[in-house]
Amino acid sequence: MCICLASDGVWDMWTFEEAMERLVRLGEKGAEAQRVGVNDFFELSRRKGAEAFGESADNLTGVVVYVQRGSGAAAGQAGTGQMSDEEDLGV
């Protein structure tokens, strides 16, 4: 799963479909390839913004997170210990 949170300046450069086509494909690769690919995506966004808007280009900020199914907290493996009612209520 790929989560992309980006400012409006990034979305001025890409349609949702274009961005997801690039970013989701990276989710199938290893962590280093994802890091490089996401950096390339945002660098290309910056260049496209500079070409389109010149010095007035701004708000080109974003974060991409890849969540692997079946691992860690996403799969409920973290914090699986049970709490008593008293612990849950802070008693």
Q: Give the pLDDT confidence of 31-84 residue by residue, as tens digits.
A: 999 999 999 999 999 999 999 988 887 788 999 999 987 755 544 333 333 334
Distance separating alpha carbons of residues 35 and 29, to the nearest angstrom: 10
Q: How confident is the model at residue 79, as a pLDDT?
A: 34
Q: CB of 42 within 8 A of CB of 60?
A: yes
Distance separating alpha carbons of residues 38 and 27, to the nearest angstrom: 10
Q: Give the pLDDT confidence of 37-47 residue by residue, as tens digits.
A: 999 999 999 99
Whether the model pTM is above 0.75: no
